[in-house]
């Protein structure tokens, strides 16, 4: 901003307020100033007598209810702390076993591994026999 531009409005000033404005403004402001201060709404809530009584009554009611209501024995909470580690692992094993055990369609069927091993055993026995034994067989 150049000083030339700043000089554009030199020697000029805004007009004076009307003379009667002084009395008007000061009278209105003085009236407000002399009024007792009006507390804001939160202060009014904080200092409200009915609200304090209501709060005290609610607290008293809770205390009475806490004293008078009979306490019944409650079952132990079923939390993880109620199980031992052994119980947990056994339960897990049972579950895994139930999943892994496949139902069999034919209860007399032999497993493939059983057939293979039986055949292998038979072949090995034949190889160890002497030619005479084979002829006899």
Partner 1 sequence: MTNPTISRVFISMETMVDEIPPTTDDRTAPARGAGWDLSAERWIALFASIARGEVAALHGLYDHAAHRLYGLALWRTGSPEDAADVVQEVFVKVAEQGRRLERVRNPRSWLLTVTHRLAVDLTRRRKVRQSEVLDEHPYLEADSGDAGRSVDARRASAHLAGLPARQRDAIYLRHFADCTFAEIARIVGVPTFTAASRYRLGLQRLRRLMEQEQ
- Provide the binding-site residues for partner 1, judged by CB under 8 A: 1, 5-6, 8-9, 11-18, 21-22, 24-26, 28-34, 37, 40-43, 46-47
Shortest distance (Å) from residue 65 CB to partner 1: 28
Is the Cβ–Cβ distance between 29 and 37 less than 8 Å? no
Query: How far apart are CB 44 and partner 1 at their closest, in Å?
Result: 10
Spatial contact of 28 and 21, defined as CB atoms under 8 Å apart: no
Write the DSSP symbol of residue 84.
Answer: -
> Which CB, 55 or 83, lies closer to partner 1?
55
CB of 12 or CB of 80, closer to partner 1: 12
Minimal distance, residue 16 CB to partner 1, in Å: 6
First to last CA, the chain: 125
- CA gap 26, 20 in Å, rounded: 10
């Amino acid at each position: 901003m150049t000083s030339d531009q700043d000089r554009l409005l030199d020697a000029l000033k805004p007009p004076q307020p009307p003379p009667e404005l002084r009395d008007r403004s000061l009278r209105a402001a003085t009236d407000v100033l002399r009024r007792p201060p009006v507390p804001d709404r939160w202060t009014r809530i904080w200092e409200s007598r009915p609200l304090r009584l209501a709060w005290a009554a609610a607290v008293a009611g809770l205390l009475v209810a806490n004293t008078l209501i009979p306490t019944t024995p409650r079952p132990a909470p079923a939390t993880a702390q109620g199980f031992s580690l052994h119980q947990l692992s056994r339960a897990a094993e049972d579950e895994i076993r139930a999943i892994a055990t496949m139902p069999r369609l034919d209860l007399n069927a032999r497993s493939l591994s059983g057939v293979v091993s039986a055949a292998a055993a038979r072949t090995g026995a034949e190889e160890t026999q002497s030619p005479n034994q084979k002829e006899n067989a």
